[in-house]
């Protein structure tokens, strides 16, 4: 999609700013490029255009999609999958509620049998929509999860088994990891920002201390034999990685807490702490948004 096409679509522009409020317009526009579809196995691939990484699985019985980005992105994905498979869509799974992962849900209305998410994710999605409506803000059409789970969820289609896991609060209080067992691929959603400063959504129950433990459980559960898909990365090509990337991001969160706590104990004010331009011991993390990490850590440690 060309930038000029996007800018002429006022409704979509408003929706982007509301649903993806933690990104600046410049950041959103930066990601408006031609979409990319990449197969990781014979039957499983990822799709990126605008927003959080989408994963999809083509089976002998139907199509499974994880996350939906924005409406235009979701429509592009649907068109591409219809070229590659004559099977019906089965499920749409949301890793969490943020708009850059769920705004395209409505495109799948009438295509999928169900939308699946953790129960907190479903609650958050409705809450954000209600808050926007109360404030009179225009948002994209919503298509909410109709199947939810508290800890684990399992689905079999064809010869493939798909499981979702919830290990506790992290990026929000409703982030699920989606494991394609027979493909050896795990979609981590926004539980991993690869070398890019993360968004830590305290308004939706984010917890950095818990997030560190969640990543421990993920590494213990999925191990080194799986390929990992990340919601975001500083280098867009690196939204796919290994367990080493999970460990590196865990180190970022640990070093973030150590740094902010040390500054607080040294008597630094919040304003002084917010002037930091990198996290000592995790200098690989880059991009816009270090202030989001510092703000969240300060709030949690206070």
Q: Which domain holds residue 222?
A: 35-251
162-178 pLDDT per residue, tens: 999 999 999 999 999 99
Domain membership flag for residue 202: yes
Indicate the burial class of 25 (C-beta count within 10 angstroms; 0-12, 13-18, 19 or more).
exposed
Domain membership flag for residue 74: yes
pTM, two decimal places: 0.89
95-146 pLDDT per residue, tens: 999 999 999 999 999 999 999 999 999 999 999 999 999 999 987 789 999 9
Band (21; pLDDT cuts 50, 70, 90)? very low
Overall average pLDDT of the 187-197 stretch:
98
Helix, coil or strand: residue 237: helix
Is residue 48 within 8 A of residue 56, CB to CB? The reply is: no
Indicate the burial class of 150 (C-beta count within 10 angstroms; 0-12, 13-18, 19 or more).
exposed
Domain membership flag for residue 266: no
What pLDDT is recorded for position 26?
Answer: 38
In Å, the largest CA–CA distance within the chain is 63
Q: 240: part of which helix (H) or strand (E)?
A: strand 240-241
Domain membership flag for residue 286: no
Domain membership flag for residue 11: no
Say if residue 8's pLDDT is above 60: no
Domain membership flag for residue 170: yes
Domain membership flag for residue 220: yes
214-249 pLDDT per residue, tens: 999 999 999 999 999 999 999 999 999 999 999 999
Domain membership flag for residue 285: no
Report the domain count for the chain.
Answer: 1
What's the CATH code of the domain at 103?
3.60.15.10
């Amino acid at each position: 999609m060309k930038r000029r096409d996007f800018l002429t679509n006022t409704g979509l522009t408003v929706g982007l700013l509301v649903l993806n409020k933690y990104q600046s317009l410049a950041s959103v526009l930066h990601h408006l490029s031609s979409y990319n579809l990449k197969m990781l196995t014979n039957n499983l691939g990822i799709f990126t255009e605008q927003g959080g990484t989408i994963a999809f699985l083509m089976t002998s019985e139907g199509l499974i999609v994880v996350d939906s980005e924005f409406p235009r992105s979701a429509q592009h994905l649907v068109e591409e999958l219809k070229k590659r498979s004559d099977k019906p869509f089965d499920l749409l799974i949301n890793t969490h509620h943020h708009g850059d992962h769920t705004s395209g849900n409505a495109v799948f209305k009438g295509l999928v049998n169900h939308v699946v998410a953790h129960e907190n994710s479903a609650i958050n999605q409705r809450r954000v929509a209600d808050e926007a409506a109360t404030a009179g803000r225009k948002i994209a059409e919503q298509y909410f999860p109709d199947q939810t789970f508290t800890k684990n969820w399992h689905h079999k289609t064809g010869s493939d088994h798909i499981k979702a896991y919830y290990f506790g609060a992290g990026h929000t209080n409703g982030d699920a990891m989606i494991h394609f067992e027979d493909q050896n691929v795990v979609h981590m959603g926004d539980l991993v920002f690869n070398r890019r400063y993360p968004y830590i959504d305290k308004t939706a129950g984010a917890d950095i201390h818990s997030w560190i433990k969640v990543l421990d459980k993920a590494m213990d559960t999925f191990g080194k034999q799986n390929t990992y898909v990340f919601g975001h990365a500083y280098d867009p090509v690196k939204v796919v990685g290994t367990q080493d990337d999970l460990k590196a991001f865990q180190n970022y969160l640990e070093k973030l807490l150590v740094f902010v706590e040390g500054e607080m104990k040294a008597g630094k004010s919040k304003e002084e702490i917010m002037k930091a331009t990198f996290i000592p011991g995790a200098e690989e993390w880059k991009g816009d948004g270090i202030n989001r990490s510092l703000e969240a850590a300060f709030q949690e440690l206070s």
